[in-house]
Structure formats: structure tokens, C-alpha cells
Amino acid sequence: MLFGRGGIYLLVMNYLAHLFLAEPSDESRIGSLLGDFVAGRIEDLCEKYGQEIARGIQRHRDVDQFTDTHPIVRHSMACLEPEHGMFSGIIIDVCYDHFLLKHWTTFSPEPLVEFIAAVHTSLSRQDWDFPPHYQWMIPWLIKEQWLTSYRSLNGVQRALVGINYRFSRETTLGHAIESIKRCYQELEADFLRFFPEVIRFVHER
């Protein structure tokens, strides 16, 4: 699932993209992350969290569905699949957040530091009965500055090594950075073509 998943490098993957695509409100930003922590009908989630958070969760789901089947994303995954197979989608998740950080000013007039500060304020709200894993994650996300942790390739590598520990069996994530470096320009070009499309998709809904 693209634009999902994610802990100190075990519980965060590409939340920056989801938060960027959320509406600029506390509820929408919270919903954009809760999408990875809750299941069930949107109607039921609306009763539990309110309409605005439920809309954020639905937007998260819509973005996931859009990206999972998008031909540009599929092309990015194909660059990595010969070596990484089913793990290529996870790698692309991390890479696309890296590219969003790298090209932030292309997509947003708001300075990154101001956006992150606003997001941290939104996510600090504890007005609702959030799932335990979400409640555990948010303080770490803020304290350790997870949302900007993929700015460098060293940060990307640390993230992938950490995600690797989530699996009970061996994965290729621990050495995926070499594949990323080899395909870097192609993956970056894919991101720069894809991200305007997902922005347009969200704004047209």
C-alpha cells in the first residue's frame, strides 16, 4: 500500500505525503494518519471521531487506492522489483517522501518548517479515544522529527533498515539503498510526474 505504513523508523513511512494532501485543519491531519491505524466503515468512524476526522481517514484511503494502481508508481516499483519483489512498494513509499522533502518548494509556498510546526500542533491534540499504537507513535514522531527524517539518503537508509526489523523473516530492505542510488534519477523523475497528479486527484474530489 503506497502512502501508508511506518517505528523509531519502525512506525513511520510516508506520512509526510498524506499530511501534505490533507486539508489544513487539525481533524483532517489527524485523520490522514489515523487511516493507517483504524479499519471499518467510514459511517462508524464518523460516529466515533466526528465527520472531519472521518473525512481525513477517507481521503487517506482514496489516496492509497489511487496510488497503488497508478502507472507511474507501477513503473517506479518495476525499477526495483527484480531485486526487491514485494518489498519494492515499501521502498517507493520512503523514496517518494524523500523526494517530497527535496522538492518541497515546488509543491508548497509554505515553508517546510512552518508546515511541520503546524502539523505537530494538530497531532498533539488528544480530544478523542485514539488507538493505542497511534497514541504511542505521535510523541515519538514529534520528538524525533520523523517527518523530515528522509531528507538525506542516510535517513532513507536508516528508515529502511528499521522497517526491516518489523518482519519476522529476512527482507531485502536492509540493503535497498544501493538499488535506490542506481535508480535514483528515474525514481525522482517518476515522483515529479506523479505528485501533481495525486494533488489534482485530491482537489477534484
Query: Residue-wise over 98-130: b if at least 16 C-beta within 10 A, else e?
Result: bbbbeebeeeeeeebeebbeebbebbeeeeeeb
Average pLDDT of the chain, as a whole number: 90
CA distance 148 to 16: 8
pTM of the model: 0.91
Q: Which three cell numbers stand for residue 130?
A: 485514539
Residue type, position 132, single letter: P
pLDDT at 154 over 70: yes
Which of 48-52, 66-70, 106-110, 133-137 shows the lowest per-residue confidence on average (mean pLDDT)?
Answer: 133-137
Q: What digits encode the pLDDT tens for the residues 8-52?
A: 334 456 899 999 999 999 999 999 999 989 999 999 999 999 999
Tens digit of each residue's pLDDT (9 = 90 or more) over 159-176: 898 888 878 788 899 899
Distance of CA 116 to the CA centre of its chain: 14
- CA 53 to chain CA mean position, Å: 17
Q: How far is CA 106 from CA 17, 76, 109, 120, 154, in A?
A: 14, 20, 8, 22, 23
